[in-house]
Amino acid sequence: MFRCGELPAGMAPGIPTGFADLDAALPGGGWPPGALTEMLCDACGIGEVSLLLPALRHLGQSGDWRGRGLLLINPPGLPYAPALAACGLDLASIAVLRPAREEDSLWAAEQALRTGAAAAVLLWQACARGADGAQRYPRLRRLQLAAAAGGGLGVVFAPRAVAASSSPAALRVVLQAAADGRLSVQLARRRGLARPVTLQVSSRALPQPWLAGHGLPARTSLRREPAAGRHPVAATGRGAQRGEVPAR
């Protein structure tokens, strides 16, 4: 047991974010491993994924997680492979899923987190309403428990409208583009720390954008970068690639 404002004893070190001020403000000194993080933002492409790229690169190079893969579920655009490769991510370890049903998206995320098949799972959700809104907490609770069992990094992107609802996530971050081009990062909920804090991240400090081709046909996964002189492209075949978790 611990009181509000005190860190739990034996808390695992966080996954370095790549930003010194952000690491200093997060319990454990980084993104919480074996836990769920909520990223709440209304706009796409303001730096919400770029903020995670240094941590994803760290996981890909870590001895414990190397080769486990990165799973992206229902991203809002086409992942731009050259930018991901330039940020140090192994394209062969990245899989993209676009299940037609929300239940299948949640199932795939839960399985990947619980089994440890993926070092990190990024899931994009639409604004839940009515019965779906009532089910949001227990669904996130399952993802939180799955992340705790597998030890990986679970991230759920959702609209800021859900900020008023309760959440089992260990960390809740509200993102907003600032007028000066910076990214406003509000740590609305941190495990063991009661007071929210807001940081400003310079856009120059963020890795280059990773999404391109909004509105293009959905692709299922990324494949390994081809020979020099050619740009990697998204694979469209039905065969699951290494690290990919098929929907039911």
- Provide the CATH number for the domain around residue 86: 3.40.50.300
Q: Is residue 77 part of a domain?
A: yes
Q: How many helices and strands (H and E) does the chain possess? A: 6, 12
Look at residue 207 and give its three-state secondary structure. coil
Q: Is residue 84 part of a domain?
A: yes
Question: What phi and psi, each to the nearest 5 degrees, are found at residue 221?
Answer: -165, 175
Residue 103 has pLDDT above 70, yes or no: yes
Q: Which residue has the higher pLDDT, 231 or 92?
A: 92
| Number of domains present in the structure of the chain | 1
With CA atoms as reference, report the closest residue to 208 among 92, 54, 40. Answer: 54
In whole angstroms, give the CA distance from residue 162 to residue 140: 12
In the chain, pLDDT over 90 holds for what percent of residues? 48
Q: Is residue 109 part of a domain?
A: yes
Look at residue 221 and give its three-state secondary structure. strand
User: What stretches of the chain show up as alpha helix (H) in DSSP?
Assistant: 20-25, 53-61, 81-86, 102-115, 130-134, 136-150
Task: Write out the residue range of the structural domain in which residue 104 sits.
Answer: 24-225
Q: Which residue has the higher pLDDT, 201 or 173?
A: 173
Q: Is residue 112 part of a domain?
A: yes
pLDDT score recorded for residue 225: 36
Q: Is residue 118 part of a domain?
A: yes
0.85 exceeded by pTM: no
pLDDT score recorded for residue 201: 87
Do the strands 70-73 and 120-124 form a parallel or antiparallel pair, or are they unpaired?
A: parallel
Q: Is residue 56 part of a domain?
A: yes
